[in-house]
Amino acid sequence: MTSNDFIKKGSNFLKMNNIKSHIIDAELILSNVSGLLREKFVINSELKLDSNQINAFNKLILKRGMSKEPLAYLFKKKEFWSNDLNVNKNVLIPRPETEILVDALARYYKNQKPFILDIGTGSGCIIISLLQELKQSKAIAIDISNKALKIALENSKINNTFDRIKFINSSIDNFIGFKFDLVVCNPPYIARHQLKNLDDSIKYFEPKIALDGGNDGLDVIRKVIYKSKKILKINGMLALEIGNGQYSKVSQILKLNKFKEKFFVKDYKDNIRCIFSKLDHY
């Protein structure tokens, strides 16, 4: 069998098991087991696999189709900001939408060295990527999950930012003792009653603590905004990723807490995804 045969066979199995992304998933699984970029075997359809690769391919296709487990957890890796990050079920899988947040901040703080707090760091994807762009910056990253912090710590070592990040096991409520130029957070922002509507690959595998934003999806966002008033330096920035349709409510919460919106950024589907605000001292 050629690579095309394997992709077709794997894709058909995934399609029968209601995996919407069945073609690309089969290609990514083949890429993972062969160690080759997708482009290589898409161009060279005669690529052969050895018996170990065939067994690995079949095993991953079967698991993806039957359990709906996300590829990132099956591979134990996820690419974000051109970094390979370790991931497991203790951390949210980094999303392309969050790269929009990193990109906006990297541009805004270019040639500066803000002291940064990353709230709910998870895999560490945001803070690691930011520090790679902002070479003179240092940061603190907090999370209430020690298991998540372990992953973030590993990722910071792999991606050469370990010496500039201090990882602390803490909730935002209990965090004190520092002032920051930038507070960044991708909080849980899905309303609790909507969790049951999520895709099975999210609902049954990703940590609920990283998804559940309370009754209206804004519980953690409120806490972060309130706390940021106390820990931001003068002229400091609060950068938030938010959910679809939450912009007007989050804007209102920011205003009530004396924040002035500086700008927002939309995602690939034209939803306002990130809000950037500063305390209004005047």
Res. 45 pLDDT band, cuts 50 70 90: low
Q: What is the pLDDT of residue 162?
A: 96
CATH class of the domain defined by 77-279: alpha beta
| Cβ contacts of 203 within 8 Å, gap of 6 or more | 195, 196
259 by DSSP, 3-state: which? strand
Both tokens of 40, joined, read: 């290589």
In angstroms, the CA 184 to CA 127 distance is: 9
Sign, CA dihedral 77-113-147-122, equals negative
pLDDT at 189: 95
How do 272-279 and 232-241 pair as beta strands? antiparallel
Within the chain, which residue ranges are assigned CATH 3.40.50.150? 77-279
Domain with CATH 1.10.8 in the chain: 3-67
Higher pLDDT, 201 or 38: 201
| pLDDT computed for residue 75 by the predictor | 96
DSSP 8-class letter at 92: P
**pLDDT digit string (tens) for 90-129?**
999 999 999 999 999 999 999 999 999 999 999 999 999 9
Over 80: is that where the pLDDT of 63 sits? yes
Average pLDDT, the chain: 94
- Between 69 and 48, name the one with better pLDDT: 69
Q: Are 218 and 245 a contacting pair, CB within 8 Å?
A: no
User: pTM of this prediction?
Assistant: 0.92
**247 pLDDT tier (thresholds 50, 70, 90):** very high
Q: What is the pLDDT of residue 40?
A: 72
How many whole angstroms separate alpha carbon 51 and alpha carbon 35?
Answer: 14
Q: What is the pLDDT of residues 221-244, one digit of tens each?
A: 999 999 999 999 999 999 999 999
The pair of structure tokens assigned to 78 is 């996820």
Q: What are phi and psi of 196, to 5 degrees?
A: -65, -15
- What is the arrangement of strands in the sheet containing 138-143, beginning at the earlier edge strand? 165-169, 138-143, 115-119, 180-185, 232-241, 272-279, 259-266
| Cα-trace Rg, the chain | 21
Domain 3-67, CATH:
1.10.8
- Measured on CA atoms in the order 244, 248, 252, 257, is the torsion positive or negative? positive
